[in-house]
Amino acid sequence: MKERVLLGMSGGVDSSVSAVLLQKQGYEVIGLTMKLWEEDDRAVVDAKNVCKKLGIEHYVVDLQKEFKEKVVENFICTYMCGKTPNPCVECNKFIKFGEFYNLARKYSCKYIATGHYAKIVFSQEYNQYILCKSNAKLKDQTYFLYGINRKILPYILFPLSDFEDKDEIRDIALEVGLEVAKKKDSQEICFVQNDDYIEFLQQHGDNQFNQKQGNIVLKNGEILGGHLGIINYTIGQRKGLGISYKEPLYVIKLNRETNEVVVGPEEELYSKTLKANELNFLLNMNLEKEIEIEAKVRYRAKPAKAILRLENDIATIEFAEKQRAITPGQSVVFYLNDIVLGGGKII
């Protein structure tokens, strides 16, 4: 009897080819599309067409309420605090590997699968299943997956883990005759149209994001000009500040309490240390002593050598070399070579 696997299908080429690969591996695939936001209709149609082509069952589950509570409201609240959220981390933790995993029991599936670029293997060294970087290093998505509950790692399949290039995935889709073979990748934040997060916050933030004017200041408090609302600025931003100074200035801090945008020369963007909370660890190991790791402070950042120390559920990361634009609200992810140790939210 074939093992049943519940595959999350977004209507994109990655999850569609994942269905093809799982079938070839001998699984009975059940396709499921989670309706998360108002604009998901196209995803449902594309996923349903792929499933029809492959001869597999397809279901749609409305998780808009859960998505709003766990992802969208966190997105809004984080900006309210003057921080920069990472909604993909929240979505993976609570929806794609939380609610979705719970649905697997409903459909009598032992495993869940997604089209993420990541790898799960059993480690003899740690005597457990571990999350590792995928072979597609430039596409690796483990940065967004550190929040998964490690107890469900044995029941997650990543069919794309051994591929090194997105073109390989599209070639498989073309060979099978899937209409989504040339479909463009989805936008970065699925619920924010045209990446205009400011408009989104103003529409969905219950009037909490009216553009309240304030000052742009140096660290010493010197006022250089005014701003129209701190949500318009991000750590590391240089352009669009609307001020003049003797040297280029960058946003180095957003102070919600004083409604100030703090700027400074580029060297003030760099720091060797950070603290993080809301920690999640995927390896069952002794964390009482300091550990040598590599850490990433954003998805596109290169892993950097660092020391990890834990105290009272707060992680202190000390880098060997200064890191640019460490941003509160974003995630820091800890690696042991290609293995994901865990991660947390920068504070």
Mean pLDDT of 200-217: 81
Residue-level pLDDT at 39: 67
Are 172 and 227 within one domain?
A: no
| Structural domain of 187 | 4-115+159-193
Residue-level pLDDT at 212: 79
pLDDT band for position 137 (cuts 50, 70, 90) = confident
User: Residues 325, 328, 329, 332: is their CA dihedral positive or negative?
Assistant: positive
- Looking at the DSSP bridge assignments, the partners of residue 262 are 217, 253
Are 303 and 333 within one domain?
A: yes
Rounded Cα distance, 36 and 95, in Å: 9
Number of structural domains found in the chain: 3
Are 274 and 336 within one domain?
A: yes
Q: Evaluate whether residue 83 is within a structural domain.
A: yes
pLDDT band for position 141 (cuts 50, 70, 90) = very high
Are 226 and 316 within one domain?
A: no
pLDDT band for position 210 (cuts 50, 70, 90) = low
Are 244 and 321 within one domain?
A: no
Residue-level pLDDT at 335: 98
Residue-level pLDDT at 314: 97
Instruction: Share the mean pLDDT of the chain.
Output: 94
Mean pLDDT of 73-82: 92
Pairing of strands 270-281, 260-264: unpaired
Q: Evaluate whether residue 95 is within a structural domain.
A: yes
Rounded Cα distance, 42 and 18, in Å: 19
Are 186 and 277 within one domain?
A: no
Q: Which of 88, 91, 109, 132 is catalytic?
A: 91
Q: Show Cβ contacts of residue 316 under 8 Å, excluding neighbours closer than 6 positions.
A: 273, 274, 275, 308, 309, 310
Q: Evaluate whether residue 120 is within a structural domain.
A: no
Q: Show Cβ contacts of residue 272 under 8 Å, excluding neighbours closer than 6 positions.
A: 318, 319, 321, 322, 323
Q: Evaluate whether residue 175 is within a structural domain.
A: yes
Q: Evaluate whether residue 228 is within a structural domain.
A: yes
Are 227 and 283 within one domain?
A: no
Q: Is the pLDDT of residue 211 over 80?
A: no
Are 338 and 292 within one domain?
A: yes
Q: Evaluate whether residue 38 is within a structural domain.
A: yes
pLDDT, tens only, 304-334: 999 999 999 999 999 999 999 999 999 999 9
Are 49 and 175 within one domain?
A: yes
Q: Evaluate whether residue 274 is within a structural domain.
A: yes
Q: Is the pLDDT of residue 300 over 80?
A: yes
pTM exceeds 0.85 for this model: yes
Domain CATH for 27: 3.40.50.620
Are 257 and 282 within one domain?
A: no
Q: How far is CA 206 from CA 4, 73, 76, 83, in A?
A: 43, 11, 10, 18
51 is catalytic: no
From 121-135, 140-154, 195-209, 306-320, the region with the lowest mean pLDDT: 195-209
109 is catalytic: no
Mark residue 259 as left, alpha or beta (left: phi above 0; alpha: psi -120 to 50; beta: remaining).
left
Q: Which of 51, 88, 132, 190 is catalytic?
A: 190
* N-to-C CA span, the chain: 49
Are 245 and 333 within one domain?
A: no
DSSP classification of residue 213? -
Residue-level pLDDT at 333: 98
Q: How far is CA 106 from CA 30, 32, 33, 99, 338, in A?
A: 12, 12, 14, 11, 34
Q: Evaluate whether residue 147 is within a structural domain.
A: no
Are 336 and 315 within one domain?
A: yes
From 264, 289, 306, give the residue that closes a domain: 264
Domain CATH for 342: 2.40.30.10
Q: Which residues of 300-336 are buried (b: 16+ CB within 10 A; e: fewer)?
A: ebebbebebeeeeeebebebeeebbbbbbbbbbbbbb
From 245, 264, 283, give the residue that closes a domain: 264
Q: Is the pLDDT of residue 224 over 90?
A: yes
Amino acid at 192: V
